[in-house]
Structure 1
């Protein structure tokens, strides 16, 4: 693989520390609280194991050996119903503005549909404007309260999309 070629692929075990570092770096960059967000999720340090289950997938943006972003789909925690959650979608600065967000979103939503989910839910922060624009572009609509119990009580924007 070329050193500069950017690809989106399923996560591999050796990506675990790289994606954890990338996600935490982006969260710090945006001033996201370290509690009540993905920053403190135990899953961050073992993403391959977390998503290696039925109806779950995590994809990374790889540039050579470097991991510069990622996103995943998982059944919504603590929710009775056929709804998945778009999880841990973050991109390092060098991955932004290249259309990778749209490409990643399509890959995740295709996986969600193929897995048989009816709707896709997500949580974000009110000041993540570019992310919210992307979500709206893909048909996510704001809802008035959180669904399930993800443990991300610091995220105050909730969105839902019919699949």
Structure 2
């Protein structure tokens, strides 16, 4: 899979992307005053094969001029009915403000819907104001039951079962 958006390329993660993807996530978390947790909430980016690929999920990287500038992923969860959680949706500052976040979210939603999932869950932190705004303006509803301790918000979106999302 390769999706082009402006001068960005969205593609499937490859094992050679591990360090670059981790660096993007670490950088954005630090920028917003959140902790990088390689043995906790961020273990999944260091073990993409186990957390995403082996469970029926996907992990994508976003490149600009051959450098990884963002990530986005999802995997099936037990929280809802036929549900997934979107995770690791991070963009470096130079990749923001161009509609890429919204486009990435739409592409993730389309991939999730095409695979027959019915619910999308997202956890985030209030300090990630741009992310909160994106989810709230993209049809996600506030829910309860945050499972990641650095997060204080959880959202859910129910997908239509009989028509394409976009």
**TM-score range, shorter-chain basis?**
0.7 to 0.9
Structure 2: give runs of 5+ residues left out of the alignment.
1-5, 160-166
The yes-or-no answer on 1:114 pairing with 2:89 is no
Pairs aligned (count): 154
- 2:72–2:86 CA contact under 8 A, matched in 1: yes
Q: Could you tell me how far 1:105 is from its partner in structure 2? A: 0.3
Q: Does the residue aligned with 1:101 lie in a helix, a strand or coil?
A: helix
1:14-29 correspondence runs (5 A)? 14-29=16-31
Q: Could you tell me how far 1:99 is from its partner in structure 2? A: 0.9
1:47 paired residue number: 48
What does the per-residue CA deviation read over 1:14-65, in whole Å, with 9 as the maximum and x for residues that have no partner?
1111000110110011001345x99752222233553223531111110122
- 2:120–2:157 CA contact under 8 A, matched in 1: yes
| Change in CA separation of 1:63 and 1:161 when aligned onto 2, cut-off 3 Å | same
Relative contact order (C-alpha < 8 Å, sep 6+): which is higher? Answer: 1
Structure 1: give runs of 5+ residues left out of the alignment.
none
TM-score, normalised by the number of residues in structure 1: 0.84
State the Cα RMSD in Å. 2.2
| Change in CA separation of 1:80 and 1:40 when aligned onto 2, cut-off 3 Å | closer
The yes-or-no answer on 1:157 pairing with 2:153 is yes
| Change in CA separation of 1:67 and 1:48 when aligned onto 2, cut-off 3 Å | farther
- 2:36–2:42 CA contact under 8 A, matched in 1: no
| Alpha-carbon distance between aligned partners in 2 of 1:28 and 1:41, rounded to the nearest angstrom | 13
4+ runs deviating over 4 angstroms: 37-40
| Change in CA separation of 1:14 and 1:67 when aligned onto 2, cut-off 3 Å | same
| Alpha-carbon distance between aligned partners in 1 of 2:49 and 2:25, rounded to the nearest angstrom | 14
The yes-or-no answer on 1:85 pairing with 2:81 is no
